[in-house]
Amino acid sequence: MAIYLTKESKVLVQGMTGAEGMKHTRRMLAAGTDVVGGVNPRKAGRTVEFDERAVPVFGSVREGVERTGADVTVVFVPPAFAKAAVVEAADAGIGLAVVITEGIPVHDSVAFTAYARTRGTRIIGPNCPGVITPGQSNAGIIPPDITKSGRIGLVSKSGTLTYQLMYELRDIGFSTCVGIGGDPVVGTSHTDCLAAFQDDPDTELVVLIGEIGGDAEERAAAYIRDHVTKPVVGYIAGFTAPEGRTMGHAGAIVSGSSGTAQAKRDALEAAGVRVGSTPAETARHVAAALGREARYGAVV
């Protein structure tokens, strides 16, 4: 079953005909993703030949949805056009929009995430590596060949840390990995993913990767304490990161948390989450929780 993305997902790519869009559409197809079309009003009616199939280019998301039954879109358009692209996808009734684009103005992200909520469209990202259900489908830029299908769910702000953990735990495998993105405003939170993994029969354990800044991890910890019965293993990056300069008082007033790595680790541990000190130790915690110590070595 997995979460958010399965082999049944029909995927559109907004910005497919650009350089990044082409490169990653090729990779997504190779990973088994059912890419049913690209969207580009200036190239509508053409088809683009890939090894697996010829992919049609539609003039709008709505046309793509009507012609193919697409329910997922992956957005690669440049930052200045991202808001319009997401609004268009939401208006076309797309259920899941994965926004890869980096550098979108925050006011635009605030506007399109709010708009998508009113239309029932889930946003993953922006500025994220996407979501992968290994062996089934890959919507975004996560390398598909570094792990296999299995029973671990993973949620992370960071792309490369996601890859690192996917690789460390490649022998156990993953149900779904979600890179939620590192921007201040994202459409899907750690907590949203935890809720989905808790309800997913294919997920046995959840890996939660966080980093300094904001209070998403503290909120996730509170959610775990109250709602998650599956084991959760955490990792937080940024204990030695240069201290950010804080301007004004508003941030501290709002979150009530210092946002430090230690504060996040403490909050997770208080909720019963085992937190690794390194990615490798985190992987060993996961293996231990799943009774797979033999292959990964005991946790020190």
Partner 1 sequence: MDLYEHQARELFEKHGIVVPRAEVTDSPERARGIARALGGRAVVKAQVKTGGRGKAGGVRLAADPAAAEHAARRILGMGIKGHTVGTVMLAEPVDVDREFYVSYVLDRAAGRFLAVASAEGGTEIEQVAAERPGAVARIPVDPDEGVTTSTAARIADAAGLPPQAVDVLVRLWEVLVREDALLVEVNPLVRTAQGGIVALDGKVTLDDNALYRQSRWGGERVESADPLEARAAAKGLNYVRLDGAVGVIGNGAGLVMSTLDVVAGCGARPANFLDIGGGASARVMADGLSVVLSDPAVKSVLVNVFGGITACDAVADGIVRALEEVTLTKPLVVRLDGNSAARGRALLDARAHPLVEQATTMDGAARRAARLATAASTAG
Q: Residues interacting with partner 1, by CB under 8 A?
A: 79-80, 103-107, 109-111, 113-115, 129, 141-143, 146, 156-161, 163-164, 167, 182, 184-187, 189, 209, 211-212, 214-216, 219, 235, 237-242, 245-256, 261, 277-280
Which of 6/189 has CB closer to partner 1?
189
Residue 273 has, within 13 A of its CA and on its CB side, a CA count of: 34
* Beta carbon of residue 140, minimum distance to partner 1 (angstroms, whole number): 10
Helix (H), strand (E) at residue 273: none
Which of 58/112 has CB closer to partner 1?
112
Which of 124/142 has CB closer to partner 1?
142
Which of 47/246 has CB closer to partner 1?
246
Answer whether the bond into residue 242 is a cis peptide, omega within 30°. no
Nearest to 222 by CA among 256, 264, 271: 271
Which of 21/159 has CB closer to partner 1?
159
**In this structure, what DSSP letter does residue 290 have?**
T
* Beta carbon of residue 136, minimum distance to partner 1 (angstroms, whole number): 19
* Beta carbon of residue 283, minimum distance to partner 1 (angstroms, whole number): 10
Distance CA 131, CA 231 (A): 21
Give the pair of three-digit tokens for residue 269: 């541990």
35 exposed, middle or buried (CB, 10 Å; 0-12, 13-18, 19+)? Answer: buried
* Beta carbon of residue 223, minimum distance to partner 1 (angstroms, whole number): 11
3-class DSSP string for 131-197: EEECCCEEEECCCHHHCCEEEEEEEECCHHHHHHHHHHCCCCCEEEEEECCCCCCCCCCHHHHHHHH
* Beta carbon of residue 58, minimum distance to partner 1 (angstroms, whole number): 26
Distance CA 236, CA 214 (A): 13
Residues known to be catalytic? 249
